[in-house]
């Protein structure tokens, strides 16, 4: 029987603040490509900054997002796994799902907006956010080995993947409105704070069986960096409101690369008295095997399983492993910098506003399966009800495959210059017992003291009617000036 305590532990260690988002986006399951407003348009579609409601000043006071997510484990899944044994069909179902999903993965992404620095006015915005991305994948081959053994699997891929990255993303965004559409651009400065990951090109592990023995080997090359820097670019297009409808398309992180292992003020802040980062006197550093990792070294872990047979199970020399720190220098003896791609996201969507109801739909996809990005197409639809303008209600649904759905809900309080929004979503599931994670978001925003009200589109530019009691408006039954002159002539 599979221990629930072990699985719950895996869920708990994956808890972290959630992917870059905001309460409205969480509640609408991400369907905000054509409706994001002000500073919240950055990261979704910068062209929407041109259509801020009344273009007031907007500032984010604070906010946070947190959650967890994986691609298989849930309460319903745990109940399915519980029991004395699993039959052949149940094992096949589990293995097929893990193989189709690339293994058992945990993705942890997050955002913390820096107070006061995030603000927008007119068709421009400046934003600054602390971003955290992390992903960890256990290979499907491990589940195959546990459930089926090695009888029918001569070679099993046992390669793990692991990557974490923390970045401070500062962006200057602006939008240029035209007659029927607007174009927006976000220029990003990416200040890398921390990176550690397994290099997929230099890492490999397998488990091989033969009729007489079992053997295998693995090598993981782990790169690390503190204090990287780079640039990013977002571009977007959004149409003008046409009878309540709007369309938009954007490419987020169209050009985003961070270069690590170069001089930076982050290293200067963390270095100790000797002013050299990577020594024992540092304020903080990454460590491997108790040794601090500097720019000039990388960590390597390797193992080997040598001829595991029934006659040598008690031998101590079957399994050998080695953990070491190797130098990562070029021919001139300088640390080799390495680049990490900031994953890009393509978005397109449409929205429709009718009376007190706003409907929005999006289609998004990434270009690689890394960190917060996924190469699958994702469709989302959301609804926002303004029956009570002070308290908008939100509901959203997203579909990325039968096993990757999301249900979001949220509420806001918009009173005068203060906006408080809350969003919650069930990740990879529709109910509490089927969700494979959750996301909770809370945000505080301040705007113009006049509040944020939509302009009245029905403006009357014609002349005002003359009041009934005006001296220029003759009472009913009285004669006009022309009739009075004609009447005077007839009397004469």
Please give the average per-residue pLDDT across 409-423, as a whole number. Answer: 91
Residue 423 lies in a domain: yes
State yes or no: pLDDT of 16 exceeds 50.
no
pLDDT (0 to 100) of residue 2: 40
Vertex 437, ends 434 and 443: CA angle to 5°? 130
Domain of 350: which CATH number? 2.40.160
**pLDDT, position 408:** 95
Checking if the pLDDT of 423 tops 90, the result is yes
Alpha carbons 222 and 335: distance in angstroms, whole number:
15
Q: What is the pLDDT of residue 152?
A: 62
More confident residue, 1 or 67: 67
59 has pLDDT over 50: yes
First and final C-alpha spacing in the chain: 120
Secondary structure class of 117 (helix, strand, coil): coil
pLDDT of 140 reads: 82
Inter-residue contact 439 to 21 (CB < 8 Å): yes
User: According to the model, what pLDDT value does residue 378 have?
Assistant: 94
For residue 172, name the pLDDT band (cuts at 50, 70, 90): very high
Q: With respect to residue 145, please indicate whether it lies within any of the assigned structural domains.
A: yes
How high is the pLDDT of residue 281? 76
Q: What average pLDDT does this structure show over 300-312?
A: 72
pLDDT in tens, 133-161: 888 888 887 777 777 766 566 777 888 88
Q: What's the Cα-to-Cα distance from 77 to each of 80, 404, 484, rounded to whole Å?
A: 5, 14, 95
**Reduced to 3 DSSP states, what percent helix, strand and coil does the chain have, rounded to the nearest 5?**
15, 45, 40
Cβ atoms < 10 Å from Cβ of 208: 15
Which range of 49-63, 72-86, 175-189, 306-320 scores highest in mean pLDDT? It is 175-189
Mean pLDDT score across all residues of the chain: 80
User: Residue 462 — very low, low, confident or very high, per pLDDT cuts 50/70/90?
Assistant: very low
pLDDT at 464: 46
Q: What percent of the chain has pLDDT over 90?
A: 27
- The tokens describing 169, both together, are 């993303």
Angle (CA) 66 69 71, round 5°: 170
Q: Is pLDDT at 12 greater than 60 in this prediction? A: no
169 in any annotated domain: yes
The rounded distance, in Å, linking the Cα atoms of 168 and 266 is 11
- Residue 112 pLDDT exceeds 90: no
Look at residue 313 and tell me if it is in a domain: yes
pLDDT: is 477 or 400 the higher one? 400
Residue 84 has a pLDDT of 59
Which range has the top average pLDDT, 69-78, 233-242, 471-480? 233-242
The DSSP code for 312 is G
- Domain membership of residue 487 (yes or no) is no
The range of the structural domain enclosing residue 235 comes to 4-447
Task: Please give the C-alpha separations between residue 239 and each of 176, 188, 458, in angstroms, as whole numbers.
Answer: 12, 24, 20
Residue 62 carries which DSSP code? E
Average pLDDT over residues 353-378: 90
Does 38 reside within a domain? yes
Q: Give me the pLDDT at residue 468, please.
A: 52
| More confidently predicted of 445 and 460 | 445
141's enclosing H/E stretch is helix 140-148
Output 403 or 256, whichever has higher pLDDT: 256
Q: What is the pLDDT of residue 213?
A: 67
Residue 73 has pLDDT above 90, yes or no: no
Instruction: Give the pLDDT confidence score for residue 380 in this predicted structure.
Output: 96
With a cut of 80, say whether residue 310 has pLDDT above it. Answer: no
pLDDT in tens, 311-340: 555 556 677 888 888 887 777 777 778 888
Q: Which residue has the higher pLDDT, 11 or 168?
A: 168
**Is 309 contained in some domain?**
yes
pLDDT tier at 299 (50, 70, 90 boundaries)?
confident
Question: Could you give the number of structural domains in the chain?
Answer: 1
Query: What is the DSSP annotation of 108-140?
Result: EEEEEEPTTT-EEETTEEEEEEEEEEEEEEE-H
In a domain, 29, yes or no: yes
């Amino acid at each position: 029987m599979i221990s629930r305590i072990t699985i719950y532990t895996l869920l708990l260690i994956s808890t972290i603040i959630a992917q870059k988002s905001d309460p409205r986006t969480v509640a609408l399951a991400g369907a905000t490509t054509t409706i994001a407003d002000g500073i919240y348009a950055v990261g979704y579609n910068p062209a929407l900054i041109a259509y801020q409601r009344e273009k007031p000043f907007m500032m984010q006071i604070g906010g946070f997002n947190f959650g967890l997510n994986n691609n298989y484990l849930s309460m319903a899944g745990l109940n399915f796994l519980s029991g004395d044994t699993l039959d052949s069909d149940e094992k096949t179902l589990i293995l097929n799902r893990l193989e189709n999903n690339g293994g058992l993965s945990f993705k942890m992404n997050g955002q913390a907006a820096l107070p006061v620095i995030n603000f927008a006015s007119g068709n421009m915005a400046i934003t600054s956010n602390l971003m955290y991305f992390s992903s960890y994948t256990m290979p499907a081959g491990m589940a195959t080995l546990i459930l089926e053994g090695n009888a029918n699997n001569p070679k099993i891929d046992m390669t793990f993947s692991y990557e974490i990255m923390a970045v401070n993303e500062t962006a200057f965004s602006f939008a240029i409105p035209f007659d029927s559409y607007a174009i927006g651009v976000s220029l990003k400065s990416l200040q890398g704070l921390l990176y550690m990951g397994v290099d997929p090109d230099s890492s490999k592990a397998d488990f091989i069986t033969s009729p007489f023995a079992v053997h295998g080997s693995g090598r993981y090359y782990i790169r690390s960096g503190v204090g990287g820097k780079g640039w990013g670019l977002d571009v977007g297009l959004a149409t003008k409101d046409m009878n309540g409808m709007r369309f938009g398309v954007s490419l987020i992180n169209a050009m985003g690369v961070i270069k690590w292992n170069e001089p930076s003020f982050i290293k200067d802040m963390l270095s100790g008295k000797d002013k050299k980062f990577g020594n024992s006197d540092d304020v903080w550093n990454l460590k491997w095997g108790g040794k601090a990792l500097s720019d000039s070294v990388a960590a390597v872990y390797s193992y080997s399983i040598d001829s595991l047979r029934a006659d040598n199970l008690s031998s101590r020399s079957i399994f050998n492993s080695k953990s070491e720190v190797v130098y990562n220098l070029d021919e001139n003896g300088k640390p080799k910098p390495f680049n990490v791609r900031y994953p890009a996201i393509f978005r397109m969507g449409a929205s429709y506003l009718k009376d007190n109801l706003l409907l929005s739909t999006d289609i998004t996809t990434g270009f690689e399966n890394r960190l917060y990005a996924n190469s699958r197409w994702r469709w989302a639809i959301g609804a926002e009800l303004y029956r009570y303008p002070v308290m908008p209600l939100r509901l959203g649904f997203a579909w990325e495959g039968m096993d990757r759905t999301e249900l979001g809900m949220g509420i806001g309080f918009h009173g005068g210059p203060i906006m408080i929004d809350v969003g919650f979503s069930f990740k990879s599931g529709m109910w509490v017992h089927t969700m494979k994670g959750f996301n909770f978001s809370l945000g505080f925003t301040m705007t113009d003291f006049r509040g944020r009200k939509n302009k009245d589109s029905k403006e009357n530019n014609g002349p005002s009617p003359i009041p009934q009691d005006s001296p220029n408006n003759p009472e009913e039954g009285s004669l006009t000036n022309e009739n009075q002159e004609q009447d005077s002539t007839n009397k004469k």
